[in-house]
Amino acid sequence: MQHTVNRRALLRGAAASALALPFSGLASRRANALGRMEPIVSPYGKIAPVKDMTTGLPLLQLPEGFTYQSFGWTGDLMADGNPTPGWHDGMAVVRSRYVGGAPEMTLIRNHEATVDPRYGTIKAAAFYDKGTQNVGEDYDENEVAGPAAGGTTSLVFRDGKWDRTEPSLGGTWNNCAGGPTPWGTWLTCEEDKSDFTAVGGMPHGYVFEVSPNAGETSAVPIKAMGRMDHEAIAMDPITGALFLTEDDRNQAGLYKFLPTDTSKKLGALEQGGSLWMAKVAGEDKVDLLTPAMGDSYQLEWVQIDDPDLAPQSFTETPFEADNMASGPFVQGRNKGALRMSRLEGCWYSPSDRLVYLVDTSSGVDEEGGIGRGDGSVWTLDPANDRLTCIYQSDNRAAGNNFDNVAVSPRGGVILCEDGDEYEDEFGVGQRMMGLTPAGETYLFARNNIMLTPADIVAAGKSAEFIAEGDYRQMEWAGVTFDPSGRWMFVNIQTPGITFAITGPWEKGLL
């Protein structure tokens, strides 16, 4: 998610056959067109504004029968008395249990912040970078120096209601997405390669493991997983391999991490391992920047000799202006590894044993820019090292730069948008879209957040943290489900709100 949000700009704004074909069948055929042009009719029906059960405000558009509760707004007081940090991003349910006879779930949520004077830092016991002169952008896009404001918070959802939020990791930088582990922890990813050692800070671009239990998180970077613009991680519980995505335009690699300690417990990944980058078998330096549905590749993997190598010059066309790619990417590319545009979401599905991957900018834009299109969705079969494009958007109507992805316990795929403005019969606003096994999208939800000063007061929020404005174009992030499939949890990154959504999931695939 390579962008910033300007508060001043906000202030200026006040089908049955489609469900039958398995994803694996796409590997044996190629679509007639390069990509999808229009979404299909949703099995859940049309969407409309629905009032939040917490604030009474119509923050989301959802299908009939669905309800939601908002929680953890930026600025809301956490259990430790400090304000909830902003920039809500990747998230997952890491623990589900019964406490006193009531079901209780713990989610860990990322905060994609660099410097934020509104709250300073996430004041967790586990804290990585204690430097105070790190240079980043604040909420108004001003370049300022300050402490690292990224990290994670842990949210407790008990007996169908939100309970509390606690800080769980601080002192990190631009925590974007990540992924859950089978042993009940969260791997949070820094999407940044900054190094602040010269001003008393720390290097960034790492993965950290976060426990749902306060006091167990070490804040030790897993350097063997590489230093890069990390986005997301998915673990294959069968083999123990972890797959990692890199979000760095036209210099993004797909990686595999094989841990040395295979005990599958908290702290095991910190013991190190080997990092590998995907390569098309028998071919060198293949570019997957403009894919078509049905494209499929046999993979092999090349080892990254120095995962912690600093950024290096990269000038293969097309490249970005600064010419600097991650050290792992350049090493892998020099060994013939493939590249993609901007790899973002990554999720393992136990129902089909596939890893779902999102390349948010694959394709070509209106000016002919390569790797600047509307995006694609891929599957990786870890058992056979097969990478297949199951969806490519050729029109914002069908898919507008998907970002995060999740798979429900029933095997349904849901995608979060993070694209440019698009308007349809339901208005403007970023969407959550379902993806059928036939590679067709359908509309499930739309961001409907528009806040007046009166709305902010009525909702009990602080104007210090929540500005008035039209937030409908702000991205969805961190979509995830509880193990039962009854609850979907998701964030709107700005102004920073978390939602718990429930309803008649049985009407469709989710």
pLDDT tens-digit series, residues 157-174: 999 999 999 999 999 999
Cβ–Cβ under 8 Å, residues 392 and 292: yes
Over residues 53-62, the pLDDT tens digits come to: 999 999 999 9
Q: What is the mean pLDDT of residues 64-70?
A: 99
Compute the C-alpha angle 448/139/143, nearest 5°: 150
pLDDT tens digits for range 434-479: 999 999 999 999 999 999 999 999 999 999 999 999 999 999 999 9
Task: Compute the distance between CA of residue 305 and CA of residue 307 in angstroms, rounded to an integer.
Answer: 6
pLDDT digit string, tens, across residues 16-49: 333 333 454 443 334 444 556 789 999 999 999 9
CATH topology of domain 7-507: Neuraminidase (2.120.10)
Compute the mean pLDDT over every residue in the chain, rounded to the nearest whole number: 92
pLDDT at 20: 34
* Region of poorest pLDDT, from 5-14, 109-118, 261-270, 485-494: 5-14
Mean pLDDT calculated for residue range 192-201: 96
7-23 CB burial, b ≥16 within 10 A, e <16 = eeebeeeeeeebeeeeb
Question: What is the C-alpha separation between 345 and 475, in angstroms, rounded?
Answer: 13
Residue 139 confidence (pLDDT): 75
Mean pLDDT of 394-412: 92
Alpha-carbon span 410 to 510, nearest angstrom: 6
Pair 206, 221: CB distance under 8 Å: yes
pLDDT of 322 strictly over 80 = no
pLDDT at 1: 56
User: What would the mean pLDDT of 486-503 be, rounded to a whole number?
Assistant: 99
Averaged pLDDT, 179-197: 98
Per-residue pLDDT, 126 = 98
CB 491 within 8 A of CB 111: no
pTM passes above 0.85: yes
pLDDT for position 427? 83
Q: What is the reported pLDDT for 473?
A: 96
> Is the N-terminal amide bond of 318 cis, ω within 30° of 0?
yes
Q: What is the average per-residue pLDDT within 53-76?
A: 98
Return d(Cα 297, Cα 221) in angstroms, integer. 32
Q: What is the pLDDT of residue 48?
A: 98
Phi-psi region of 56 (alpha: psi -120 to 50; beta: other; left: phi over 0): left
Span 373-393, average pLDDT = 97
**How far apart are the two ends of the chain, measured CA to CA in Å?**
25
CB neighbour class for 453 (10 Å; exposed up to 12, middle 13-18, buried from 19):
exposed
Q: Which two tokens stand for residue 31?
A: 């679509």
pLDDT value for 12? 31
For the cut 80, the answer to whether the pLDDT of residue 11 exceeds it is no
Q: Among 81-90, 280-289, 309-318, which stretch is predicted with the lowest mean pLDDT?
A: 309-318
- Measured CA to CA, the distance from residue 72 to residue 79 in angstroms comes to 11
64 near 48, Cβ under 8 Å? yes
Tokens, residue 53: 């059960």
245-268 residue pLDDT tens: 999 999 999 999 999 999 999 999
User: Beta strands of 173-263 (E only): which ranges?
Assistant: 175-180, 186-190, 207-210, 230-235, 242-246, 254-259
For 85-115, the pLDDT digits (tens) are 999 999 999 999 999 999 999 999 999 999 9
* pLDDT reported for residue 19: 35
d(CA 398, CA 374): 9
Distance separating alpha carbons of residues 114 and 129, to the nearest angstrom = 12
DSSP track, 324-374: EE-HHHHHHHHTT--BBS-EEEEEEETTTTEEEEEETT-SB-TT--BT-SS
Apex CA 191: angle with CA 188 and CA 193, to 5°? 120
More confident residue, 28 or 334: 334
For 129-163, what is each residue's pLDDT tens digit?
A: 999 999 988 777 888 899 999 999 999 999 999 99
